[in-house]
Amino acid sequence: MPVITAEPFDFTCDIDTCALIVIDMQRDFVEPGGFGASLGNDVSRLMAIVPTVARLIDGARRAGMMVIHTRECHRPDLSDLPEAKRLRGSPSLRIGDPGPMGRLLVAGEPGADIVPELAPLPQELVIDKPGKGAFYATELGAVLSRRGIRQLIFAGVTTEVCVQTTMREANDRGYDCLLATDATESYFAEFKDAAVRMITAQGAIVGWATPTNTILEALNV
């Protein structure tokens, strides 16, 4: 089995029981005019990782690994959107409001789509999630169980919110988790750095972390 050099120590990868999860690489988060920009964020930081995420996805596909994509979005009637989430903060636009790419973070709208450069293949699973974590109110856990998946490699945005939340959910469910450090990003550099340290602290208390090239080299793809 491939051994991936990582922090805080090496990660032994069983390709047959490992999946890549790409978190929320959606237009609403990484492109101007979307929900991320409505919060006052510099979305260019997130767009910059798209080529690296694409390389990681391509490598996982060539290795024969299961690839899963997630999208944070809500039903058109917003019945799965708690008021506490909709009303939090003071953004220029709120979830469900019309924006340049359709209603923000609403399933079926252009902004909720994954950026074209990272488009899922027809056979790849796309999980629409109403919360930060990908296990909450979704079929993800059942799908991973049916496929016998025990290890997860993570990419996507943002590092400290949806990525870290899903890693913590996965850790509690017994999965070994590896974060591709240059295939994830935050609107705030210091938040990403802190999240990576939290994940790998105390002997990989949440998971491991390593750059994309190190993963691809170990997978020999």
Q: Interior CA angle at 178 toward 4 and 74, to 5°?
A: 150
Q: Interior CA angle at 124 toward 118 and 125, to 5°?
A: 105
Strands 98-99 and 102-103: antiparallel
Q: Which of 153, 100, 96 is nearest to 130 (CA)?
A: 96
As annotated, the active-site residues are 24, 129, 162
Check: CB of residue 101 under 8 Å from CB of residue 33. Answer: yes
The Cα–Cα gap between 179 and 47 comes to 18
